[in-house]
Amino acid sequence: MPAGTLTQDCDLTGRTVVHDGMGVAVPARGETVRIEAVGAQDTGAHGFSLGVSEQGAVFYELDSPEGTTGAAGTKKQADGSARAAAPAACSDNLLLPWDWEDFDSYEWYIGDGGMPGGLSKADATTAFKDAINNITGGYNDCGIADTIDAGHRYKGASTYESDIGSDGYCTPRDKQSTWDAGNLEAGTLAATCGWTTNRGGSDDLIEADVRYNTADFDFTNNPTSSCTSHYDLRAVGTHEAGHVFGLDHAPAGHENLTMTPSIGACDKSLRTLGKGDMRTLEAIY
C-alpha cells in the first residue's frame, strides 16, 4: 500500500499491511499503530508504524537497519559476546529513540486465557505491575533518582484479549489496553502494539497491548541457578513496558540497556534500567 493512499477510496481500514515480517491493521483516521517485538537471543527484533492522517492518507515510519541486521529494518543481537563488549548499563548514556508519549496514567487490564510461567492471574498481575513499575518508577542500580512523571493504573481482569494475532500482527484495536499470553511469530518472545493519535501533530498514546509468546517459549517468575531455557517474565515485561511508554529499541553496541532488542534465557538483569533507559524516560516525562 503506497504512502499517500486514501483509505476511504478502497475501504482499507482494518486491512493488514506487512513489512519485514511484521503486520498491522490499518487504523482509523487520525491514528497511528506501531508494532514492536523483542526476540530471544540471536534472533531479530523489529517494528514499524503505519498511520492514517486526519484526511485519510496512509503514511509510514519504517525502522532503519542498525548494527548487525538480518532483513532490512531488522535489528539483531549478534551473540552473548555483544553484551560483554557493550558499555555497562550504568555507563551507557545513549539517548534512545522514542515513538510516542503518554502524559496521562496508562490504564490496563489482564486478559483472558493462560499466563506466562503458568502463573495464576493474581500472580501474573503482580508480576506485570512490577514490570510496569520498573519503568514508571525508574528502577535502576545506577544511583539515579526517579524524576519520571509517568504512572499506570490496573483496571482488573477482562474477557478481552490483546489485539495481537498468532502471526504477531496488530489487529484492529478494541479500545482496551490488555496484557496476556498466547501464540506469536516464532522467535518472538513478546510483542507490543501501541496506538496513538496523530491529530493536530500529537503523538499521545491511546492504547497499548502486550502479549507473551507461550506457544514457543517457557517463562519463569524467578530464574534460579539451575535455570537453562526459561525466560524471565519480569525482564521481558519491563522491556515491553518500556515500549508501552514509548521507548524504541537500543541499537547494536548497547546490549546492556533494558531496551536491547533481544533477551537471553534466564537473564533477569534487564529488570533494572540502564543510564540510557533512564535518560530517555526523563527526556519524555
The secondary structure of residue 89, as a DSSP letter, is T
Asked whether residue 8 carries a pLDDT value surpassing 50, the answer given is yes
Angle at 178 between CA 50 and CA 52, to 5 degrees: 15
Amino acid symbol at 72 = A
pLDDT at 71: 32
What pLDDT sits at residue 62?
Answer: 79
Q: What is the pLDDT of the chain when averaged over all its residues? A: 90
What is the residue whose three cell numbers read 559476546? 81
pLDDT tier at 202 (50, 70, 90 boundaries)?
confident
Q: How far apart are CA 123 and CA 152, in angstroms?
A: 18
- Bridge partners of 247? 98
Q: pLDDT tier at 103 (50, 70, 90 boundaries)?
A: confident
The three three-digit cell numbers of residue 218, written as one number: 517457557
Mean pLDDT of the region 116-140: 97
125 C-beta neighbours (distance < 10 Å), count:
18
The predicted model gives 19-42 an average pLDDT of: 91
Model confidence at 67: pLDDT above 50: no
Q: Specify the pLDDT at position 44.
A: 58
| Cα diameter, the chain | 58
pLDDT for res 66: 40
Q: Would the pTM count as exceeding 0.75?
A: yes
Q: Which residue has the higher pLDDT, 219 or 11?
A: 219
Per-residue model confidence (pLDDT) at position 83: 85
Percent of the chain with pLDDT over 70: 92
How many angstroms separate the CA atoms of 142 and 280, rounded?
A: 15
CATH number of 18-284: 3.40.390.10
Is 158 in contact with 107 (CB distance < 8 Å)? no
**pLDDT at 65 (0 to 100):** 41
Secondary structure tally for the chain: helices H, strands E: 5, 15
pLDDT the model gives residue 43: 63
Is pLDDT above 80 for 279?
yes
DSSP state of 284: H
Q: How far apart are CA 259 and CA 236, in angstroms?
A: 10
Band of pLDDT at residue 68, cut at 50, 70 and 90: very low
